[in-house]
Structure 1
Amino acid sequence: MQTIQATNYSVFFNETGYEKLASYLIPSSYSRIFILVDENTSQYCLPHLLNNLATEIEIEIIELEAGENHKNIATCTEVWAALSELGADRKSIIINLGGGVISDLGGFVACTFKRGIDFINIPTTLLSMVDASIGGKNGVDLGNLKNQIGIIREPKAVIVDTEFLSTLSPREMRSGLAEMLKHGLIFDKNYWDKFKNLKDLNTEDLNELIHQSIQIKNTIVCEDLSENGIRKALNFGHTLGHGIESYFLENEDKTSLLHGEAIAAGMILESYISKEKGWLTNEEYHEIKYIINDIFERIEFNENDINQIIELLIYDKKNEFGKVQFALLEGIGKIKINQEADNVLIFNAFKDYAV
């Protein structure tokens, strides 16, 4: 697959990625390499990386517990301390080998350790390949509130090795599809249409879809790195999706959702709001709802759940001047940013989602 050029870094694929990685990791450039993994990527992905990592630089491994509930400042403190104890200096580099949690947290740790050291993202999940590792957003959660603490700073490089997808469960694969579906809905109707026959796709088709998804996100980010304008389009499905994800994460009587599962529900809900505002036809809305529901199991919400999720919206990091901001669809493949929706409309969206 062809290399994708971002603003200040490149996204390399498969064998080309490891060749480029070797060219970066030379003793004259870096004093020490730190590979950040979680307990899953340490077991299933690290051996593959080490077998393809050609360097003379000393390597240290830092392993974290897996899961969104560890994406916080306390974990960052542990990693900062480990870096110090292992002798990291300003010429060290961190390789983030993992999913969205590792990419987000590892990037944030790198950006803040000794006021910033280089990092490279090697995503191991579909979700992190097409979303978390791309675009320079790094950060952690504040309690159950998603991505409240962070910084935008781009990596040195991103290496996408689709071999890692073989380590994923079907549920993790579906989670990654949510962001790919989103890219079609906000940017490219032809790309969206390819998901109508998802069951007929083979491995080569999936690789091409991954490449196109990364291209779409990169195109948007390159136009607006600091998220003052069009990059807000990438938040479609995330205003309500993050509220749902946070609510299920903090409630012990709820089963935690994967990011993509919550975002899938958020996209249906925000498509309903788009329809009710007159920007999406009834046919388009039902097409979106059908395709997403064909991939993801419907989440059950009671009235109390809905009210508490709506209350969480006030903490969304995209809000401006105390108002909840949505990115909504203006037809499939087009987006309207900086939109508002009242609580009655949001509640009605949840009610329609349930049927």
Structure 2
Amino acid sequence: MKSISSDSYAVHFNENAFKALNKHLKGADYSKIFILVDENTHNLCLPQFMAEIEGDYVYEIIEIEAGEIHKNLETCTQVWEAMSELDADRKSLMINLGGGVITDMGGFIASCFKRGIHFINVPTTLLSMVDASVGGKTGIDLGAIKNQIGVINQPQMVLVVSQFLNTLEERQLQSGFAEMLKHGLIKEKKYWEELKLLSNFDTMDEFIYHSVQIKNEVVLQDPTEQNIRKILNFGHTLGHAIESYFLESSSHETLLHGEAIAVGMIMEAFLSKELTGLSEKELEDIKTTFLKRYKKVAFTEEDIQAILGLMKFDKKNSHGNINFVLLESIGNPVIDIKIPNDLYIKAFDYYKD
């Protein structure tokens, strides 16, 4: 499977991934290699990863606790302190072996340590393979507000090895699949139609590859998200607020990223019908597709008001305005749409009904 070249690095797949890594390590002369894992990837992925490394290098394994709740500055500080104690220097390398939390946070940790060391991302979840693999976004959460602190900084390479998906539960696979469905909605109706028919996750390589291609094409046009890259946030303005609210709520089960974004995409599709011309037929298609795959989420009036309050922290906002990505039709998004206040409640009502 041919590698995909981004701005300053490449995404390597399966049989080419470890060949590219070993070639890079052989020529780079790193003083020490730090591998960031959580307890899951330490047990399930690290042995397999290390078995593919050729050559004699100095390694240090740093393990953090799994979960979005630990994607914060406190965890970063603990990792920086560990790196300092283990004599990390500016010629060290950080390899981030894990899902989106590990790759987002690991990239941020590497970008800040001694004003920046090299890092390589090895995404091990479907979500991180099709989302975090491209674009150079690194960062952490501020309290429950997602990705408020971070920088855009590119890795040396990304390795997408689909056999790591064998370590995941069905719920995690479905979470990543929501982002793939989003790629169809914002860029390619034919891809949306193909994904709708997918009944299992046994043969995902070609779909993962195509999702990475779609995201890469968008990012290359707008690396710092000044314009067209914003389309990748369809479903995320409401979805991130929902995810943040459920993350900090003691009375609700935490939602995975894709589960929250699926809700957000249904609601933002409704807003698209109201404001940007999405047809009733395509709206119902979007709603039906997501509700077949994702458990319906219950919202009280109190929940809704709290979620709407969190939207002011969305990173696309400017000058006090909440900016949405909506759809004119499937495959045709529009950016920077402002929503009349009365439509927010109608969007929740549409989802609930």
TM-score of the aligned structures, taking structure 1 as reference length: 0.98
CA distance in 1, matches of 2:339, 2:28: 54
**Counterpart check, 1:191 vs 2:191:** yes
Q: Distance in 1 between matches of 2:167 and 2:274?
A: 41
Q: Is 1:104–1:133's contact at 8 Å kept on the other side of the alignment?
A: no
Structure 2 partner of 1:290? 288
Query: Which sits farther off after the overlay, 281-290 or 188-197?
Result: 188-197
1:348 and 2:342 are equivalent in the alignment: no
Which SS does the other structure have where 2:90 is aligned?
coil
The alignment status of 1:237 with 2:235, answered yes or no, reads yes
Amino acid at match of 2:238: L
Deviates more, 1:233-242 or 1:50-59: 50-59
Q: CA deviation at 1:179?
A: 0.5
1:54 deviates by 1.5
Q: Is the 8 A contact 1:27 1:56 kept in 2?
A: no
| Residue pair 1:17, 1:161 contacting (<8 A) in 2 also | yes
For the pair 1:326 / 2:293, whether they are aligned, the reply is: no
In structure 2, C-alpha distance between the alignment counterparts of 1:193 and 1:249, rounded to whole Å: 32
Q: Are residues 1:2 and 2:5 paired? A: no
Distance verdict in 2 for CA 1:316–1:81, change over 3 Å: same
Q: How does 1:125-204 map to 2 (within 5 A)?
A: 125-199=125-199, 203-204=202-203
Letter in 2 for 1:327: V
2:29 paired residue number = 29
Matched, 1:41 2:29: no
* Structure 2 unmatched ranges of 5 or more: none
**Paired residue type of 2:302:** N
Tell me how far apart the structure 2 counterparts of residues 172 and 278 of structure 1 sit (CA, whole Å).
32
User: In structure 1, what is the Cα distance between the partners aligned to 2:168 and 2:194?
Assistant: 22
Would the aligned equivalents of 1:144 and 1:247 in 2 still touch at CA under 8 Å? yes
- Identity value in percent: 53
**Equivalent position SS for 2:329:** coil
1:8-66: CA deviations, max 9, x gaps?
A: 00000112100110011127531111000000000000010011111322011000000
- C-alpha displacement of 1:343: 2.4
* Aligned residue type for 1:176: G
- SS of equivalent to 1:147: strand
Equivalent position amino acid for 1:143 in 2 = G
SS in 2 for 1:35: strand
- Residues 202, 144 of structure 1: alpha-carbon distance in 2 compared, 3 angstrom cutoff: closer
Q: Deviations over 1:210-251 (max 9, x none)?
A: 100000000000110000010000010000000000000111
1:251 matched to which residue of 2?
A: 249
Contact kept in structure 1, 2:9 and 2:154, CA below 8 Å: yes
Supply the AA of the counterpart residue of 1:240. L
Q: 1: distance between equivalents of 2:87 and 2:276?
A: 58
* Matched residue, 2:302: 304
RMSD: 1.0
Structure 1 segments, 4+ long, off by >4 Å, are: none
CA distance in 1, matches of 2:159, 2:330: 30
Residues 37-116 of structure 1: pairs in structure 2 closer than 5 A: 37-116=37-116
**Cα distance, 1:202 vs structure 2:** 6.4
Match of 1:338 among 336, 339, 349: 336
Amino acid in structure 2 at the alignment position of 1:18: F
Query: How far, CA to CA, are the matches of 1:196 and 1:19 in structure 2?
Result: 34
Q: What is the CA–CA distance in structure 1 between the aligned matches of 2:276 and 2:34, rounded to whole Å? A: 51
Show the counterpart of 2:268. Answer: 270
Contact 1:107 1:119 in 2 (8 A): yes
CA contact (8 A) 2:11 2:133 kept: no
One-letter amino acid of the counterpart of residue 29, structure 1 = D
TM-score, L = length of structure 2: 0.98
- CA distance in structure 2 between the aligned counterparts of 1:274 and 1:30, rounded to whole angstroms: 50
Tell me which moved more, 325-334 or 339-348.
339-348
Between the aligned partners of 1:103 and 1:172, the Cα distance in structure 2 is 16
Separation in 2 of the partners of 1:62 and 1:253? 33
Matched AA of 1:169: E
Shift of 1:317: 1.6
Task: State the Cα distance separating 1:278 from its structure 2 match.
Answer: 4.1
2:209 partner letter: H
5+ residue gaps in structure 1? none
Shift of 1:203: 3.1
Asked if structure 1 preserves the Cα contact closer than 8 Å seen for 2:36 and 2:94, the reply is yes
Distance apart, 1:344 and its partner CA: 1.4
Q: Which residue of 1 aligns with 2:217?
A: 219
**1: CA distance between counterparts of 2:7 and 2:228?**
16
Residue 13 (1) aligns with residue 13 (2): yes
**Code of the aligned partner of 2:196:** K
Q: Distance between the aligned counterparts of 1:59 and 1:115, measured in 2?
A: 21
> How big is the shift at 1:274?
0.2
Amino acid paired to 1:39: E
Cα distance in 2, alignment partners of residues 215 and 185 from structure 1 = 15
- Aligned partners of 1:312, 1:55: CA distance in 2, in Å? 49
Aligned residues of 2:35 and 2:60 also touching (Cα < 8 A)? yes
Kindly provide the amino acid, as one letter, of the partner of residue 305 in structure 2: N
